[in-house]
């Protein structure tokens, strides 16, 4: 099993959030809402990286895609170096992804080169709204293009569709459907994009997005697939019915298993997947095979 969505939690992450988050609105939101939600899911506790290691990665055959989290360049460098050191010590368990500071083009370019050219890291994580950017902003599109040219898999946070029009806090706005409808992905044929949280639910909008895209750009082929370059991680949809619906929408070859630690250790997702009516081969694709194909470069736009 490869858990494709794991946040690295440094020892001082909960105690000293100012070290990692300088934007006071984002920091307060994470502390007041994010940390509270995590504690609620774990009986009042805030789970540590050591717990994830003991409960998940110590088990045979378990691996994880791991990335840090910060809203400023110095913090990104700090967590990226920590994740790399972790992967260096445990190369059979930790697959490092570099977290890119989108607000500083020079710095994300430097960290991208460091990760890809010096260390051989095969993926990146972006979180546009953490840097007050829209998914379709020039800054984000430039970063996606650079990652595509570097043959790096990109995981992007995606805002849940149910949060549209609500007061979802400062971290909302990562709309996958806006990126698809913009046509920007068509300009990046090498991009391999993993949309977190089933694309915020956008995984179920394929036919509608195909229609909207063709309606807005009549020159586009009617049979074009809106998610041709997109895969979806399953976190935190721990319902067998939801997972089956996602398979019907895009096929099992477009899904990768994710826990979204520290929100979950992944047990609920594993149980939900086992309860589906998928074949053992389809479950294995979601748990392991699809992510391996992405990392090896075997999966890509048709």
How many Å separate Cα 142 from the centre of its chain?
Answer: 18
Closest by CA to 98, choosing from 132, 59, 69, is 69
Structural domain contains residue 301: no
**What does the DSSP assignment read for 109-124?**
HHHHHIIIIIT---EE
Question: What pLDDT is stored for residue 111 in this prediction?
Answer: 96
State how far the Cα of 142 lies from the Cα of 105, in Å rounded to an integer. Answer: 9
Question: What pLDDT is stored for residue 301 in this prediction?
Answer: 43
What total of structural domains would you count in the chain?
1
Q: In a 3-state reduction of DSSP, which class is residue 294?
A: helix
Structural domain contains residue 96: yes
Paired with 126 in beta bridges are 156
Residue 283 lies in domain: 2-294
Q: How far is CA 79 from CA 21, 177, 203, 256, in A?
A: 12, 29, 30, 24
State how far the Cα of 154 lies from the Cα of 125, in Å rounded to an integer. Answer: 6
Question: What pLDDT is stored for residue 284 in this prediction?
Answer: 95
Question: What pLDDT is stored for residue 117 in this prediction?
Answer: 93
Structural domain contains residue 299: no
Structural domain contains residue 287: yes
Query: Which pair of tokens denotes residue 139?
Result: 């800054």
Structural domain contains residue 18: yes
Question: What pLDDT is stored for residue 107 in this prediction?
Answer: 96
Query: Within the chain, what is the greatest distance between any pair of CA atoms?
Result: 54
Closest by CA to 7, choosing from 60, 54, 68, 62, is 68
Structural domain contains residue 181: yes
Structural domain contains residue 258: yes
Q: Which CATH number does the domain housing residue 65 bear?
A: 3.20.20.140
Q: What is the 3-state secondary structure (H, E, C) of 175-208?
A: CHHHHHHHCHHHHCCCCEEEEHHHHHCHHHHHHH
Question: What pLDDT is stored for residue 228 in this prediction?
Answer: 84
State how far the Cα of 7 lies from the Cα of 36, in Å rounded to an integer. Answer: 16
Average pLDDT per consecutive 10 residues, the chain (302 residues; last block may be shorter): 95 93 92 89 92 94 96 96 96 97 96 95 95 93 96 92 59 82 87 94 80 58 72 89 92 94 92 93 95 86 44
How many Å separate Cα 169 from the centre of its chain?
Answer: 19
Structural domain contains residue 95: yes
Which DSSP helix (H) or strand (E) runs through 233?
Answer: strand 230-233
């Amino acid at each position: 099993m490869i858990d494709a969505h794991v946040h690295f939690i440094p020892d001082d992450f909960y105690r000293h959030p100012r070290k990692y988050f300088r934007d006071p609105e984002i920091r307060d939101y994470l502390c007041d809402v994010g940390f509270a939600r995590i504690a609620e899911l774990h009986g009042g506790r805030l789970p540590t990286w050591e717990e994830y290691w003991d409960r998940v990665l110590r088990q045979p055959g378990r691996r994880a895609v791991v990335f840090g989290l910060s809203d400023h360049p110095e913090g990104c460098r700090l967590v990226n170096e920590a994740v790399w050191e972790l992967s260096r010590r445990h190369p059979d368990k930790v697959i490092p992804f570099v977290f890119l500071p989108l607000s500083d083009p020079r710095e994300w370019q430097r960290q991208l080169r460091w990760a890809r050219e010096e260390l051989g890291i095969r993926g990146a994580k972006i979180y546009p709204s953490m840097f007050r950017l829209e998914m379709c902003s020039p800054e984000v599109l430039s970063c996606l293009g650079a990652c595509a040219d570097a043959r790096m898999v990109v995981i992007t946070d995606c805002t849940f569709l149910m949060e549209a029009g609500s007061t979802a806090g400062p971290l909302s706005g990562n709309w996958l459907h806006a990126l698809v409808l913009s046509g920007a992905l068509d300009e990046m044929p090498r991009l391999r994009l993993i949309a977190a949280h089933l694309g915020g639910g956008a995984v179920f909008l394929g036919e509608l997005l195909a229609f909207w895209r063709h309606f807005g750009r009549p020159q586009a082929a009617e049979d074009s697939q809106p998610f041709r370059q997109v895969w979806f991680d399953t976190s935190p949809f721990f319902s067998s019915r939801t997972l089956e619906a996602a398979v019907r929408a895009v096929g099992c070859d477009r899904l990768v298993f994710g826990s979204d630690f520290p929100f979950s250790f992944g047990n609920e997702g594993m149980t939900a997947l086992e309860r589906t009516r998928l074949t053992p081969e389809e479950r294995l694709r979601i748990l392991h095979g699809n992510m391996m194909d992405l990392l090896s470069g075997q999966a890509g736009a048709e």
